[in-house]
Amino acid sequence: MIVAEAKPFAEVAGMIGGCRRLLVVACAGCTAVCGVGGVRQAGELAAALRIHFRLKGLELETEVTGVTRQCEPEFVGELAEAVARCGAVLSFGCGVGVQFVADRFAGVPVFPALNTRFAGGFTVSGAWEERCRLCGDCQLHLTGGICPLTRCAKGILNGPCGGVQDGRCEVGWDVPCAWMLIHERLAALGRTELLRPIRPPRNWAHTSAGPRRQGVSTDDSGK
C-alpha cells in the first residue's frame, strides 16, 4: 500500500490561495486505508479551509466527493461534471492519483493535500513501515524476505556495515539493523551460504534514473 500523510494545513491553505470554489476529492484506495485521504478527512480539511478563508473575509465554497481509486482514469473520469462546476481540485490521492487527476483535467489546477511517503504496510494499527523501494529488481529470495535496499539506512547489499550495535542501526537506536535481521533470518532457515557471494553493484537503471517506468500487463486471464 502507498502510505501518505497530511500536508501541513498552512501549506494547503497557501497553495489554494485565490480559489473560491474547490472540488475536494477523497480517494478510497491506499490513502483512505492509512487514514489520511478518505472522505472523512477530506470533509474535515474542507471545513477547516472554509473557516480559515472566512476568517480572512473570503468565502470558499467546497464540494467534497470521493472516487474508488484516483490512480485509474476510469474512476477519475467520474469527476468530470463536478470538476467543471468547481474549476479547481484538491486531491487526497497519493502522488499518482494527483497526477492522474491533473492529466484528465488539463485546464484545471490540481493541488495535493497529502505528502506521499512510501510503499509499506502497517505493523500495528496506526503505525506504518516502509517495506519496498519499488526498485524493479526484487532480490528478496536472497535476503530472507527482508529488503536491504529499503530497510538498511544505506541500502547496502553486502551488509551489515560497521555501525550496527546490539542489532540496531547506527542511524537510530530504535531502528533494527536490516542486515542483522537478514543474517538471523537466513541462519534460522539454514541458508547463510546465500550471504557468501559478493552482491554486485545494483542496476539503478531499473529504478530512479531517467524517464518514467512503464509496465505492460502479462495477465491474459481477463481476455
Partner 1 sequence: MNPEPRIIGFCCYTCAYAAADLAGSMRVTYDPAITIVAIPCTGAVEPGVVLAAFEEGADGVFIAGCLDGECHYKSGNLRAKERVRALCAVLEKLGLETARLEMFQVSAAMATRFRDKATAFAARIRALPPSPVRRREGRGE
Partner 2 sequence: MTLESNLARLLREGHFAVTAEVGPPKGASADPLLQKAAALKGYVDAVNVTDCQTAVVRLSSIAAAVHLKAAGLEPVVQMTGRDRNRIAIQSDLLGAYSLGVRNLLCLTGDHQRFGNHPEARGVFDLDSIQMVAMVRRLGDPGEFLCGEPIRGERPRFFVGAVENPFAGPLEMRVRRLEKKIEAGAEFIQTQCVFDLERFRRFMAMVREHGLHRRGRILAGVTPLKSVRMARFMRDQVAGITIPDEVLARLENAADPAAAGVSLCVEQISELRKIEGVAGVHIMAIAWEQIVPEIVRRAGLYPRPAQ
178 binds, among partner 2, partner 1, ligand SF4, none (CB under 5 to 8 A by kind): ligand SF4
- Assess contact for 63 and 47: CB atoms under 8 A: no
Q: What is the distance, to the nearest Å, from the Cα of residue 27 to the centroid of all Cα atoms in its chain?
A: 13
Q: Which residues neighbour 191 within 8 Å (Cβ) at sequence distance 6 or greater?
A: 144
Q: Is 167 among the residues that bind partner 2 (CB under 8 A)? A: yes
Interaction of residue 137 with partner 1, rule CB under 8 A: no
The residue within the footprint of partner 1, chosen from 14, 59, 171, 189 (CB under 8 A), is 59
Contact criterion met (CB below 8 Å) for 26 and 121:
no
What are the grid coordinates assigned to 98, written together? 494527483
User: Residue 50 is inside which H or E element, if any?
Assistant: helix 39-55
Minimum CB distance to partner 1 smaller for 12 or for 186: 12
From the list partner 1, partner 2, ligand SF4, none, pick the one residue 22 interacts with, judged by a Cβ distance below 5 to 8 Å according to partner type: none
Spatial neighbors of 98 by CB under 8 A, at least 6 apart, are 70, 91, 110, 111, 112
d(CA 33, CA 200) in angstroms, rounded, equals 37
**What residues numbered 191-220 form the site for partner 2, per CB under 8 A?**
195-196, 198-202, 204
- Do 176 and 129 form a contact (C-beta atoms < 8 A)? no
Q: Specify the residue, 64 or 164, whose C-beta has the smaller distance to partner 1.
A: 64
The neighbour count for residue 82, using CB atoms within 10 Å, is 15
The binder of 201, among partner 1, partner 2, ligand SF4, none, by C-beta within 5 to 8 A per type, is: partner 2
Q: Taking CB within 5 to 8 Å according to partner kind, which of partner 2, partner 1, ligand SF4, none is near residue 44?
A: partner 1
- Nearer Cβ to ligand SF4 (81/166): 166
Task: Please tell me what DSSP assigns to residue 140.
Answer: G
- The region of 43-51, 89-97, 146-154, 167-175 touching partner 1 under the rule CB under 8 A is 43-51
47 contacts partner 1 (rule: CB under 8 A):
yes
C-alpha cell read off for 159: 551488509
- Distance, in Å, from the CA atom of 29 to the CA atom of 25, rounded to the nearest integer, reads 12
Q: Note the residues at the interface with partner 2 (CB under 8 A).
A: 153-165, 167, 170-172, 177, 180, 183, 195-196, 198-202, 204
Q: Note the residues at the interface with partner 1 (CB under 8 A).
A: 9-10, 40, 43-44, 47-48, 50-52, 54-55, 57-59
Q: Note the residues at the interface with ligand SF4 (CB under 6 A).
A: 152-154, 156, 159-161, 163-164, 169-171, 177-179
